[in-house]
Each structure stands twice: as structure tokens, then as C-alpha cells.
Structure 1
Amino acid sequence: MRKLFILIGLMITVEIAMAKTTYIPKYTSYIHIVNGNDTIVVADSVSEIELAERSGLFSIRVEHEEVNKEKVKAIKRAKRAVGWMSFSAAMSSVSTSLSSNNLQYYVRSQNTNVAFHLLDLYNNNAIKEQKLNTDVWIDNTSDKEIMINDTERGLMWYVKPRQTLHITPNNPDVQSLRISDINNQNVNYAVIATGNYTLKWEVEWEDSNSWIVSIYKDSYNEYAYDKLDRYRRINKATFVEEDMTIDEYKSFIAEEKRKKKMKK
């Protein structure tokens, strides 16, 4: 029992000692409309993009769920639940191995099985929290009814003038659509590709415009705790990423401190 309390204490100490972390989204959006020999395309890594068909028949808009403070808290809560459930399952396993008779072994082994099943559920919930919702909106911007056909899934929709069709894609997903007026005189083919995920980063600096995060060398992934290699500035509006050397980061921080002193 004493070892158990020591282990819990160490886990809490590690949690407190860790640097500030957050979850930053990665968005992918792509809209491609073809009408005869005419092709228009838009692609970006921002949370919302839109593309309008040239004749004014329709427009397509992709919107990704934004990661606000409440979303970050929800992801962290789900991750903590996985951590404590992993600890609980491991302790149940140890308890089972130390059982002194058959009845104790049976009861504790059942408890262990339940703990590991719960761990799977908590882990799935954590993964789900890190995936963001995506919405596709197709606006009929004309005064005529239009037809929208999902050529991959065999679905058909009729959208009245100045009305909107809402589609919820998978994550990730690619949709192939045929969009036309009801007389098939203006036929368009559209491809919509969407996807997103969130990454956990160690944040060294944050202001209203950007985050600056740590990048580690020779790591299994870029946000693992290993030898510091460089920094990366991520724009909060566009999510464009720009690497900074360690010296550039130090100069940036020194300049920010100088500005802060001047304001006082």
C-alpha cells in the first residue's frame, strides 16, 4: 500500500512539473468545381473556406469546428481519464497476481477484465474528443431549384431557390457531387475533401496572434519530450507554421521583454 501512495505521488508531481500544453487543430479543406472546360479550385488550412460557381447557381462552404478553451479542457479531461484508468487497470492486474486463493483470484480477475474494458471506452472517448466536427453547406444562390447528386453514395437532394443543403461528412472524407438545375442545362461536378485533427503541443509563448511551440529532435513525434531542436510559430488565424531557431526564439523573447518594460 505504501508503494501505491508513492507511485500516485510521483504521477501528481510529474503532472505539476510539466510545461503548459495545449491542443492546436490541423485543418484540411479542398473544393473543386468543374463545368465543362471551366475549373475553379480553393484549398486552405483555415477553419472555413467557400467557393462559388461562376454563373451564380450555387456556392459551397466548408466549416470546421474551432478549438476554443473549452474544447481544450474537454480533450485534457478525456486524456486524464485515460491515464487514471490505465493506472487503475494496472493496479487491478497486480492485485489479481497477488491473490492467495482461487476465489480471490476469480473475483479480482473479473475486476481486472472490467477495468480494461473501461480503459478501452475511455481511450475511444479521448480519441473522439480530438476529432473535430465538420459541416458542408451548399447554398442554392439562384432563383431556380437545383439537384445535387452524391455520385459515390447514390444520394439525391432537391434544393429550393435561396435554400441551403447541410451535409455532415466523415473525418476525413471525400465527396463527389453532381450539381445542376432541374433541366440539366447547367451541369457541374464538385469534389469536396475535408479532414482535421488536433495535436498536443508544449507552448513556450502565446499571444493574441500566435503560439510558439517546442520542436524536439530525433523524436517519435514532433511534440515528444526529447532534445530541443527548434521552435515553431503557429498563426492563430491562418494556422500557417514558421520554424524559428533557438537563437531567433531567444531574440524574440528578449525583444518582447524589452517592449513590456517600456510600457511600464
Structure 2
Amino acid sequence: MNQIEYTVKDRIGYITLNRPEKRNALSFELVAALKEAFTKAEDDTAVKIIILRANGEAFCAGADLGYLQQLQKFSYEENLADSNHLKELFLKIYTLKKVVIAQVQGHALAGGCGLASVCDFIFAVPEAKFGYTEVKIGFIPAIVMVFLLRKIGEAKAKQLLLSGDLITAEDAYRIGLINYIVDKEKIENEVLEFSYRLIHTNSSNSMELTKQMIASIQSLHLDDALTFASTMNAKARTSEDCIKGIQAFLNKEKIQW
């Protein structure tokens, strides 16, 4: 059975975790399959929006237990290579040229919570629990920490990362970890409607450049950030999408993206 399902329909690329019997736990092979799937979706001209979802009751339960046992036998160099493997996946999703929406139909824990966290939008069912439980087994939430501090700030990140406690979807929404809470029987349609809205009302180039700037600008000095912003602004004005969009606006025409 394939650990990942990849399908395309109506300009949406669906990447589906497919280890329901293992609660979609992350293994080396699954991380590799995800990296390959996201690269494929990014390069696929038929795809404008990507939905990351999962089969089974859990979205992703974190690291596979059998895999964790293997890691204890690894050398430092082997563990570093494996850590970089996960880092590359998270960075790929965070900096991907296309918008990524996580459709979380069940619990997202530890590395699985990290996987959802690096997506651009998170829709979750009310029953879903979220948490970075690494400290409870003597591990650390090292890689996701870099992204989580950016996303929700130091105080809220400390609360989650140092306690290792699970939180409800409602609490995750309240602190800005997730974007929407939708009943289980409605979440697929809600994610689809949101995706179609982005597809039909937003420029691909504009969303790509905006994502790029969000990822880059936070680490720059204020003057450098503003210089970078001015440069990107000037470049965007000469883009094909901007010319098309302004012309349609001036002519009071509906833009077809």
C-alpha cells in the first residue's frame, strides 16, 4: 500500500497520508514520500492549491514507534542526517510556491502537529487534539520550534513546547495555531469552497510572492525589510498577472484566474 496518495482535480492537488493502521505516523519513508509529493505538486502546472489530508481516525500521531527504536541505534551523524530529512520537509512546505491547506480530521501530535503547523492554513474538526509532546519522552520539538515561534509568538510557543500538553481545537484556534474549526461532516466541503475561492479570486503569482516575502522578511532588519519590500513591489507591478489584473479592474471586467 502506498504511504501517500497523490491526485489532482479542478486545479487542486491532494496529498493524502495513507498509513491509517499506524495513525499516519511519520517514518523515514513517509517523510521521503511527502517531500516527493510536494515537489510534484509544486511543479504540476495543473495544480494551483494543495490540500494535505489523511486517511483514518488520526491526522498524524508523530514519529513511528518502530522508527524511534531504530533511532536509538543511530550514530550522531546518522541522527543529524535524519533530522535534516524532516527539516527539509517542513522547510519545503513552508516555502512552497503554492498555498498549502491542512485538512485535519483527527489528532495531530508531536511531529504530526509540526506537519500541520508549517502549512499556510489549518482547518480542523472540533474533536481534534493538538500538541507537541516530545518533552514527555525526553525528546525536544527542535525543528518545529523555529516555525512555531514565528507563527504564534514566544509566550504561546513556550506554553505548548515546555508543557507538552494536548490542547483542543478551540484552544488551538484561540492562540492562532489553526485557522478554522469545522464539523467533521462539513470539513471536506468547507476546505473545497475555501480552495476554490483562492483559485478563482487570487493570482498565483501574487500568492507565491506574498508567501516568499512572509518567509523572508521576519529575519531582516527593518531597513533591509523595507528595501526588500520595495523591490518586490516594483517587480510585482511589471508582472503579467498585475498588468492583467489592473486592466480588468479599470475596464470593470471580471478577472479570470
Q: Which has the higher contact order (CA 8 A, sep 6+)?
A: 1
- Normalised by the shorter chain, which TM-score bucket? under 0.3
Q: Which structure features the higher share of helix residues?
A: 2
Q: Which has the larger radius of gyration?
A: 1
TM normalised by structure 1 equals 0.21
